[in-house]
């Protein structure tokens, strides 16, 4: 999928299925409130999880949101690199390249 089309697809689907997307957003809010993990750590965990399932869109989304709250690029890199022994080097490199799509825009 083209990186340029990705946000448009998301926005179109969000409009078509607004109740579903609202429910998913409420679920995200609820799970973040379920324990002591702070927002920054939660975003880093979500980035690593997105890398683990090889979801380019999820990596983009979570990196974007992490940057919005002040997470440093080095922290994002480490969150992905820490998964190397679990998800494998090729998956880590792919996730780093997806993260770089947004980190390069920030620079």
The pTM score is 0.83
Domain 36-107 is found in CATH 3.40.50.300: no
The C-alpha atoms of residue 97 and residue 34 are separated, in whole angstroms, by 31
Q: Are 27 and 20 in contact (CB under 8 A)?
A: no
Residue 107 has pLDDT above 80, yes or no: no
Question: Rounded to the nearest 10 degrees, how much is the dihedral formed by the CA atoms of 34, 37, 40, 42?
Answer: -60
pLDDT in tens, 10-41: 889 889 999 999 999 999 889 989 999 999 99
pLDDT in tens, 48-79: 999 999 999 999 999 999 999 999 999 999 99
Nearest to 103 by CA among 74, 73, 60, 78: 73
Residue 5 has pLDDT above 80, yes or no: no
Q: Are 103 and 66 in contact (CB under 8 A)?
A: no
The C-alpha atoms of residue 87 and residue 27 are separated, in whole angstroms, by 26
């Amino acid at each position: 999928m083209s990186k340029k089309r990705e946000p448009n697809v998301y926005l179109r689907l969000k409009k078509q299925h607004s109740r579903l997307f609202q429910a998913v957003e409420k679920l995200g809010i609820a799970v973040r409130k379920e324990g002591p993990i702070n927002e920054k750590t939660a975003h880093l965990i979500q980035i690593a999880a997105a890398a683990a399932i090889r979801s380019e869109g999820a990596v983009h989304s979570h990196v974007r949101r992490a940057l919005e709250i002040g997470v440093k690029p080095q922290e994002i890199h480490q969150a992905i690199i820490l998964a190397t022994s679990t998800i494998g080097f090729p998956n880590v490199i792919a996730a780093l390249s997806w993260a770089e799509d947004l980190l390069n825009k920030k620079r």
